[in-house]
Amino acid sequence: MPALVVNAGSSSLKLRLIEPDESVLRSIDLPALPAAADQLRQTLAEWPAPDWVVHRVVHGGRSFRAPVAITGPVLNQLRSLVDLAPLHQPKSLAGIAAVSAVLPDITSYACFDTAFHAGMPARAATYPIPERWRTDYGIRRYGFHGLSHAYCAGRAAQLAGGRTDELRVVSCHLGAGASITAIVGGLSIDTSMGFTPLDGVVMATRSGSIDPGLVLWLEEHEGLTPAAVAEALETESGLLALSGTADLRELLARRAAGDERASEAFEVYVHRLVTTIGAMTAAAGGLDVLVFTGGIGQNSAEVRAEVGHRLAHLGVAIDPAGNRGDEPDREIGAGEVRVLVIEAREDLQMVREVSALRKEGN
């Protein structure tokens, strides 16, 4: 029997039925919850009943470092993490509630975007802040998009013809949210996102990394409340603040038409990508494979070409013909470093993780 994969994001609800051979039996993208509640019920009523359900959950905190069956106590712990991922965690919880209401007798599991990074070396995960903050509040660099990065690590080894444990991979998950991860031996060594998904590179509406002193200054000198600052950094920053649009496709069209603001925004965006890839390469001790995934990573030849051009000193070169191709998984490198475009398949990673858990009898 198939497994139902539920990915409740901030702007959409993605459902897939995955067969035991990993083929996709059914797939649909719906509006985000709660707007999609009726469509969700209708869809699941028409689809074959799944054997089990797995939900993507963004934040697992300190407690969840691997997939887990969803129980009452687990749900309570997930609710306690909402403040750490306010754009995402409530949607995951809404997805769990909505599907459970339709399929109350089907066992549900949670897979976590933070889990892949849970074993990061202390040198990468630790903030230089008072010890009581780290121990009492669990403050550390958690990292996100772990399901995508984990899938890319395995798929990169297949495409590059090497063993996972032999490759130094830098995985770039570029979408409305974005993160870059250094992977060595199939393990996360460092990543651009930190305590929350607000950290790291420039994103669609999120600022990425900024000076923490700026937050303090805004609150002290401009009288902004923490909630106002958080709202601005989460929803009014990034590409939207730099160019007036959060849609990279529109930004690129404006840039091509000579819009100076769009051109400057593109420069900031690419600069942050390139410097972060450089940092991740240093963390990995070198670079064998560079991966582009996510909506922008998979679909923007212009971003890939510009990033590749600015990383020539690392042995990166982009083949123009390959870069313009449309195969979901393909090689686009023309230099010493293998450069791959890989379709984001968190759904397969989730199914594999839970299947392994179920085989263990948990």
Q: Which tens digits make up the pLDDT trace of 17-37?
A: 999 999 999 999 999 888 899
**Residue 218 in domain:** yes
Using CA atoms, how far apart are residues 173 and 123, in angstroms rounded to an integer?
Answer: 23
Do 340 and 192 fall within a single domain? yes
Please tell me whether residues 216 and 333 are part of one structural domain.
yes
Exactly one of 29, 113, 136, 319 is catalytic; name it: 113
Q: Do residues 252 and 315 both lie within one domain?
A: yes
Sign of the four-CA dihedral 9, 232, 115, 120:
positive
Domain count for the chain, please give it.
2
The answer as to whether 171 is a domain residue is yes
pTM: 0.95
Q: Give the CATH number of the domain where residue 189 resides.
A: 3.30.420.40
122 occurs within a structural domain: no
92/209 same-domain check = no
pLDDT of residue 228: 97
Is 113 a known active-site residue?
Answer: yes
Residue 189 pLDDT greater than 60, yes or no: yes
Q: Residue 152 has which token pair?
A: 């890319």
In a domain, residue 285? The reply is yes
Tell me which of 53, 77, 112 is where a domain ends: 112
Range(s) of the domain holding residue 102 = 3-112
- Mean pLDDT of all residues belonging to the chain: 95
Provide mean pLDDT across the span 240-248. 98
Is residue 127 in a domain? no
| 232, 94: one domain | no
Lowest mean pLDDT among 80-89, 241-250, 337-346: 80-89
Confidence of residue 87 (pLDDT cuts 50, 70, 90): confident
355 found inside a domain: no
Look at residue 257 and tell me if it is in a domain: yes
Dihedral of alpha carbons 58, 55, 160, 332, sign? negative
Do residue 180 and residue 310 come from a single domain? Answer: yes
Is residue 151 domain-resident? no
Residues 260 and 168 grouped into a single domain:
yes
Could you report the per-residue pLDDT of 248-277, keeping only the tens digit for each? 999 999 999 999 999 999 999 999 999 999
Position 362 confidence tier, pLDDT thresholds 50, 70, 90: low
| Residue 83 and residue 209 in one domain | no
Question: Minimal CA–CA distance to 235: which of 32, 88, 56?
Answer: 88
